[in-house]
Amino acid sequence: MESAKHKRIELVTNTEVKAVTGDAGDFTVTLERKPWYVDISKCSGCGTCVDVCPITVPHAWEQNLKPRKAIYAMFPQAAPLKYVIDRDRCVECGLCMQVCLLDAIDLSQESTTEEIEVGAIVVATGGRVFDPSAMKQFRYGELENVVTNMEFERICNAGGPTEGELVRPDGRHIRSVAFVQCVGSRDLGNNPWCSFFCCMASVKGGRLVMEHAPGADVTVFFNDLRACGKGFEELYQRSVDEGMKFVRAIPSVHVNRTTNNPIVVYEDPQAGGIVRNEVDLVVLASGLEPSAGTDRIADVLGLRKDSYGFLSERHPTDGMAETRREGIFIAGVCQGPKDIPDAATHGSAAASKVGAFLSGGRSRLMSEMETDRAVGLEPTAREAGAEPGEVTYGDSHG
Ligand SMILES: Cc1cc2nc3c(=O)[nH]c(=O)nc-3n(C[C@H](O)[C@H](O)[C@H](O)COP(=O)(O)OP(=O)(O)OC[C@H]3O[C@@H](n4cnc5c(N)ncnc54)[C@H](O)[C@@H]3O)c2cc1C
Ligand code: SF4
Ligand code: SF4
């Protein structure tokens, strides 16, 4: 939101980068601006049109836990806060046009193409969350009260489908939750990497449940609990002291058909034997993986990807925010899984690299890359397609 107000930042939304030509310091970027079917220079974001629109569809931003209309704003904090029409769902009844006092609705809009000139490019296309539907042991998509961490985020959010009230999808209040870690992460059958954010996100989520519903029963089922980061171990210990339970086990999920409660079934790591724990809600801590948007931009820009599909940095210690294409930088999860502090730090690093590059540091970067080549420093082993475990980024800490 701050960026949207900044005098020297132009926010170009609903737009796709189609092509990039030219060289570092002098790129031409071809943009496809997609239609909103609303003139955003006129739209005030009043929302009157929403009330009269007769079409209701599931809202993907709310993880389909809440409906939206065919004319909608993505979410209340969207920047810019303008309304857009989903033309695939719109029946062209014209009711929104009748109520819009600013005459902002324009169903005749089409995509337009434009070119902009830039000196440098930062790719920050993030990742996507692993879909656990195929992991049949968790019954996701089959049992109503088994949700992903993304859905749980919306349930807890004050602006979300339940307005922050801790209510599970079948409408009952939540007093006991089981978090299941490493869903789709650290799993050779799915994604072998650690997704980094999810252990602490579950600890945070568990604490939220305990705050909202004093006396609530929270159990985190983990593989290894990774509380790496300043203050994270302390937060984990505090949560243990306050009653959050941590069990080293990978459970499967069953159901009590009478209560509609999920039943978490696991082997007791200490006493042995099978334990059945009936809870109100199971939250699957789905991991991060490369997004389709990252794939697309990598193709357009000719960027290398590592063997997992994340964008490759120029060097794992001395070029984390740079790519091997001069003038093109990377930040955040598009390079590999991160939490918000690390993604923000990476973004700041990319911004300062761009600043240095545009103000004359270009020759330094070029000479660093030339030195790399001279000493035979090749792309990292993962980038070159080595199997995970052969040589990894951990080597750079040695
Ligand atoms: C359920 C869940 C809970 C989390 N909880 C926490 C937490 O409590 N604390 C924490 O620190 N971290 C948490 N994280 C991690 C956090 O979300 C990430 O660290 C952070 O969002 C990474 O920021 P990013 O800018 O790299 O990517 P993103 O936030 O994913 O942003 C990338 C943006 O790029 C856009 N995009 C993609 N492709 C293109 C394209 N080709 N062209 C234009 N735009 C494109 C996307 O639409 C998106 O808006 C959580 C993650 C999840 C999934
Ligand atoms: S399109 Fe018109 S009615 Fe709808 S939010 Fe914008 S100004 Fe308001
Ligand atoms: S952060 Fe925790 S839950 Fe997430 S993949 Fe790593 S170990 Fe598993």
Whole-structure pTM value: 0.89
CB of 84 within 6 A of ligand 2: the answer is no
CATH class name, domain 128-288 = alpha beta
CB of 336 within 6 A of ligand 1: the answer is no
Per-residue confidence band for 373, with pLDDT thresholds at 50, 70 and 90:
low
Nearest residue to 220 (alpha-carbon basis) of 189, 197, 186, 243: 243
**Counting atoms of ligand 2 from 1, which one is nearest the CA of 50?**
4
Q: What is the pLDDT of residue 367?
A: 61
pLDDT at 381 over 70: no
Ligand nearest to the CA of 150: 1
Q: What is the pLDDT of residue 177?
A: 98
Per-residue confidence band for 77, with pLDDT thresholds at 50, 70 and 90:
confident
Per-residue confidence band for 377, with pLDDT thresholds at 50, 70 and 90:
low
How far, in Å, from the CA of 205 to the mean position of ligand 3?
14
CB of 102 within 6 A of ligand 2: the answer is yes
The tens digit of pLDDT for each residue in 257-288 reads 999 999 999 999 888 899 999 999 999 999 99
CB of 264 within 6 A of ligand 2: the answer is no
Contacts for 350-358 with beta carbons within 8 Å, 24 or more apart?
A: 350/122, 350/124, 350/321, 351/122, 353/321, 353/322, 353/329, 354/120, 354/122, 354/329, 357/24, 357/25, 357/119, 357/120, 357/327, 358/25, 358/119, 358/120
Q: What is the pLDDT of residue 361?
A: 58
The tens digit of pLDDT for each residue in 1-13 reads 788 889 899 999 9
Higher pLDDT, 214 or 368: 214
- Where along the chain do the CATH 3.30.70.20 domains lie? 35-110
Ligand nearest to the CA of 103: 2
Topology adopted by domain 35-110:
Alpha-Beta Plaits (3.30.70)
Report the amino acid identity of residue 102. L
Higher pLDDT, 245 or 371: 245
Q: What is the pLDDT of residue 87?
A: 96
Q: Whose CA is nearest to atom 1 of ligand 3?
A: 196
High-pLDDT (> 70) share of the chain, % = 90
How far, in Å, from the CA of 40 to the mean position of ligand 3?
41
Q: What is the pLDDT of residue 380?
A: 46
pLDDT at 159 over 80: yes
Q: What is the mean pLDDT of residues 369-394?
A: 50
Q: What is the pLDDT of residue 238?
A: 98
How far, in Å, from the CA of 263 to the mean position of ligand 3?
22
Q: What is the pLDDT of residue 335?
A: 98
The tens digit of pLDDT for each residue in 337-353 reads 999 999 999 999 999 99
Contact 73, 83 (CB under 8 A): yes
Per-residue confidence band for 235, with pLDDT thresholds at 50, 70 and 90:
very high
Ligand nearest to the CA of 295: 1
- Where along the chain do the CATH 3.50.50.60 domains lie? 128-288
**Counting atoms of ligand 1 from 1, which one is nearest the CA of 346?**
26
Residues with CB under 6 A from ligand 3: 181-182, 185-186, 194-196, 198-199, 223-224, 226, 285, 287
pLDDT at 307 over 80: yes
How far, in Å, from the CA of 250 to the mean position of ligand 3?
12
The tens digit of pLDDT for each residue in 114-155 reads 999 999 999 999 999 999 999 999 999 999 999 999 999 999
Ligand nearest to the CA of 180: 3
Report the amino acid identity of residue 282. V
